[in-house]
Structure 1
Amino acid sequence: MAGGRIVVGVDGSAPSLKALKWAAGQAALTGDSLETVISWEYPASWATLMPGVPPEFDPERLAKQILKQAVDQALTPEVAATVTRTVVGGNAAQALIDQAKGASLLVVGDRGYSGFKAAVLGSVSSHVAQHAPCPVVVVRGETGDDEDA
């Protein structure tokens, strides 16, 4: 069923780069288009968690830069040129679920960046696996035995 769309969550972390590479390979096999998605949001206590942040700081611009770097790092220039790049303000899991409407597949890494990594490792992948409107692939990162992951 060619002509579908594969959505992949990207945050610049190693697991998200691995997911992006996997999704690009799957898109090449199926003929689906590839859409990369990054989200950003202000923390609930922005001023107290990040004192001294200049008022001109633009998290959306930073997200666009991270997405561009990730796509350029993970994909060949030919493939990168064909990728749709979407930047969404809001919660990462919900942004991916929303973008996955009508998609043939949603791909995420097993972990990503988080303000509180220990508390929420894998929370986005777990949430989208339970609530996405399409099939989900969670690309696992390195395990102790997997040096090339």
Structure 2
Amino acid sequence: MAAGRIVVGVDGSEPSLRALRWAARQAGLTGDALEAVMAWEYPPTGWAGPAPGLSPAPPVLPPETDPEEAARDTLDAAVTAALGASAAASVDRRTVAGPAARTLLERAEGAELLVVGDRGHTGIKAALLGSVSRHVTHHAPCPVVVVRGDG
């Protein structure tokens, strides 16, 4: 039987690092490949048009700012911090432009499992689940594990 794929959402937050560590342990048990995914978006205020109905202007960023490169750097640092350099070398990493929930659902197509933290950088501390984890649990094409933090 061929090994499958476990997709884990990573945004650099501590809950996503816990999810990454959990997913890596699960991949070790099942022999599945581990794919760490980070979604990124341009800030809406950085490119929105001046009035409703007008076409939005393309993003204007300083030349030294590349959001995709920043996402790759953040993902690389998160994977290495969570798993160590040796284990991190075997993790497939994907940075995708788009909303986090949609990106994770698309990457989860054909996966054995989707793993997310209970809330990410934008999570409200009192919430039991963040908006992304709640959305993917309702719409994922595969089983989902939501890794909760301490108390």
TM range (shorter): 0.7 to 0.9
* Higher alpha-carbon Rg: 2
Structure 2 CA distance for partners of 1:118 and 1:77, relative to 1, 3 Å: closer
* Preserved contact between residue 19 and residue 108 of structure 1 (Cα < 8 Å): yes
TM-score, normalised by the number of residues in structure 1: 0.85
| Matching of residue 101 in structure 1 with residue 117 in structure 2 | no
Number of residues of Structure 1 aligned to a counterpart in Structure 2: 137
| Matching of residue 78 in structure 1 with residue 92 in structure 2 | no
* Preserved contact between residue 7 and residue 106 of structure 1 (Cα < 8 Å): yes
TM-score, normalised by the number of residues in structure 2: 0.84
Structure 2 CA distance for partners of 1:118 and 1:18, relative to 1, 3 Å: closer
* Preserved contact between residue 2 and residue 30 of structure 1 (Cα < 8 Å): no
User: Which runs of structure 2 are paired with 1:15-30 in the superposition (5 Å)?
Assistant: 15-30=15-30
* Preserved contact between residue 124 and residue 130 of structure 2 (Cα < 8 Å): no
Q: Which runs of 5+ in 2 are unaligned?
A: 49-59
Which residue number corresponds to residue 44 of structure 2? 44
Question: How much identity, in percent, do the aligned residues show?
Answer: 60
1:47 to partner: Cα distance: 5.7
1:58 to partner: Cα distance: 1.2
Following the alignment from structure 2 to structure 1, what is the Cα–Cα distance between the partners of residues 13 and 124?
Answer: 15
Which residue number corresponds to residue 31 of structure 2? 31
Question: What secondary structure does 1:134 align onto?
Answer: coil
1:54 to partner: Cα distance: 5.0
| Matching of residue 10 in structure 1 with residue 13 in structure 2 | no
| Matching of residue 62 in structure 1 with residue 60 in structure 2 | no
1:118 to partner: Cα distance: 3.8
C-alpha deviations, 1:88-137, integer Å up to 9, x for none?
000000000000000000000001012xx449960000000000100000
1:55 to partner: Cα distance: 1.9
Code of the residue aligned with 2:18 in structure 1: it is K
